[in-house]
Amino acid sequence: MMTIHARPLWLRDITEINVNAAIPDWLLKSKLRSWDYLIKSGMPTRKQERFKYTDFSFLMNKQYSLSQQKDLTKLSDFISKCRIKHSNAICLVIVNGVFQPALSDVAQLPDAIKVMTLADALAQDPELLQQQFVNAAPTYFAELNHALFIDGLFLQVADLYQSEQPIHVLSIITEQNDCLISPRHVFMIGKHANVTILEDYEALHANSYLHNVVTHWELQEGAVAQCYKRQHENTQASHYAHSFLDLRESSQFELVNMTTGGIFSRDDVLARLRGVSASCSLSGFYTLKQASQYVDHHIEIIHQAKNTNSEMMYKGILDHSSRAVFNGRLHVDQDAQRVNAYQANHHLLLSSEAEAYSKPELEIYADDVKCKHGATTGQLDENALFYLQSRGIEKKQAKEILMQGFAEEILKRISNPSLLAHMQEIL
């Protein structure tokens, strides 16, 4: 017996897919399919393993509308404030999910880095992105983005190019209503090229919007990319990000995610190590200080080829009645021999109302592998606290020092000092 679900209340205002007339045929068909899927499958429930601990209450009593283009002239001051200090980073500004070349440092881009709106990319080469979108996994919110996205950022680094300047992708939400913002980004890194991208999420006002982002990364043979994500949406916002990583032979991907914003924040990362000797290191740190704040990291790494390595390292500090969920799934295909994988998740609870859920999973079908995972949940080390206090440091400061130490393991992965300072600002 098939149950047809009613369109959820919070999607009521969105009656049809708003399509740009210029999109290719395959994309239109695909969007309609996604919309269909959403209506038929209904909202995910806690009975689904993927959403076992996810609290969708933030969606209740909301009715999101689609974001409209607004007046952008007053933003330049805000943008200046958001820039990374003491850095030659090239700033690319995205407002309400749409890339704004006029507000960005497009002129500073080297020739080897092509940047344009996703709409333009599709216009130039309709077939290019078809493969990318196929790689996405069909989960509710990723499909929601697929059905509704209008635009996003397209960035391509040419083969062999070694970037000297980091790219600062600054996303600003200026909407004041309850909006659903669905940008879709594609980053393609060419053979043996090298780039560092800092994804920054800021908001102008303190309203509750749903920022549903999907990002595709494709690293060609030998490509190296570092992605630093700084999530500082406002305290009422909801942030759901899907990242799909396609890693080819000998490519290396590093992610460092810092999350402090939003009342609801979830990152789903799906990394496929498709080529021999590819490697990826995904790490994150989150500190939750608000009542009812929820942070969720669902990381999935699939080893499809030999000699691949991966690492997952996520740490969080939870205070008040916040909740954190970590689900790390490591999957090793039967042919993926000589795999070395490590996964760790550590939580510090500072209050009796905070809750932590950890599910580090291993699904191994090959045999010549070395896979380990570790998870701990606890509190600040009493001995270490006492040690600092006995050296004259006041308790409150001692606690902060220890918490800083706890975060250090993640922070030290950022080698560029100005980028590190920018990331640390939100902590």
Partner 1 sequence: MLSIKNLHVSIQDEKLITKSILRGVNLDIKPGEVHAIMGPNGSGKSTLANVLAGREDYQINEGAVSFDHEDLLSLSPEERAAKGLFLAFQYPTEIPGVNNMYFLRTALNALRKQKNLPPLDAADFLSLAKAKMKEVGLDETFLSRGVNEGFSGGEKKRNEVLQMMILEPSFIILDETDSGLDIDSLQMVGRCVNSLRGANRRILIVTHYQRLLDYIQPDVVHVMANGKILKSGDKNLAHELEVKGYGWIESEITS
Partner 2 sequence: MANKFIKEVVNQQYPYGFVTAIDSDTIAPGLSEDVVRLISAKKHEPAFMLEWRLQAYRHWLTLTPPAWAHVRFNPINFQEIIYYSAPKLTETKKSLDEVDPKLLETYNKLGIPLHEQSRLAGVAVDAVFDSVSVATTFKKKLAEAGVIFCPFSEAVQKHPELIEQYLGTVVPYRDNFYAALNAAVFSDGSFVYIPKGVRCPMELSTYFRINTAKSGQFERTLIIAEEGSYVSYLEGCTAPMRDENQLHAAVVELIALERAQIKYSTVQNWYPGDEQGRGGIYNFVTKRGQCRGAYSKISWTQIETGSAITWKYPSVILQGDYSVGEFYSVALTNHYQQADTGTKMIHMGKHTKSTIISKGIAAGVGQNTYRGLVRMLPGAQYARNYTQCDSLLLSDTCGAHTFPYIEVKNPSARVEHEASTSKIGEDQLFYCRQRGLKTEDAINMIVNGFCKQVFKELPMEFAVEAQKLLEVSLEGSVG
Q: Using CB under 8 A, list all residues that contact partner 2.
A: 49, 334, 337, 347, 349-352, 354-379
Q: Which CB sits closer to partner 2, 182 or 343? A: 343
Q: Which CB sits closer to partner 2, 378 or 417? A: 378
Taking the complex as a whole, how short is the minimal distance between the CB of residue 348 and partner 2, in angstroms?
8
Answer whether 150's CB lies under 8 Å from 97's CB.
Answer: yes
Backbone angles phi, psi at 359, to 5 degrees: -140, 85
Q: Which CB sits closer to partner 1, 231 or 308? A: 308
Q: In whole angstroms, what is the distance from residue 375 CA to residue 178 CA? A: 37
3-state class of 174 per DSSP? coil
Mark residues 306-345: x for contact with partner 1 by CB under 8 A, - for none. xx------------------------------x-------
Backbone angles phi, psi at 318, to 5 degrees: -120, 130
Query: Bridge partners of 310?
Result: 280, 341
Q: In whole angstroms, what is the distance from residue 52 CA to residue 361 CA? A: 14
Q: In whole angstroms, what is the distance from residue 255 CA to residue 257 CA? A: 6
Q: In whole angstroms, what is the distance from residue 403 CA to residue 396 CA? A: 11
Taking the complex as a whole, how short is the minimal distance between the CB of residue 399 and partner 2, in angstroms?
13
Q: How many residues bind partner 1 (CB under 8 A)?
A: 4
- Give burial (CB, 10 Å; 0-12/13-18/19+) of 139: middle
Taking the complex as a whole, how short is the minimal distance between the CB of residue 42 and partner 2, in angstroms?
20
Output the CA torsion 386→376→245→260 (10° steps): -50
Q: From the list partner 2, partner 1, none, which binds 338 (C-beta under 5 to 8 Å, kind-based)?
A: partner 1
Q: From the list partner 1, partner 2, none, which binds 360 (C-beta under 5 to 8 Å, kind-based)?
A: partner 2
Taking the complex as a whole, how short is the minimal distance between the CB of residue 307 and partner 1, in angstroms?
6
Q: Is residue 399 at the binding interface for partner 1, with CB under 8 A as the rule?
A: no
Q: From the list partner 1, partner 2, none, which binds 307 (C-beta under 5 to 8 Å, kind-based)?
A: partner 1
Written as one string, the DSSP assignment of 37-49 is HHHHH-S--TTSG
Give kind and range of the element (H or E) at residue 155: strand 153-157
Q: From the list partner 1, partner 2, none, which binds 355 (C-beta under 5 to 8 Å, kind-based)?
A: partner 2
Mark residues 265-294: x for contact with partner 1 by CB under 8 A, - for none. ------------x-----------------
Look at the block and give the residue holding tokens 């890339």: 99
User: What residues line the site for partner 1 (CB under 8 A)?
Assistant: 277, 306-307, 338
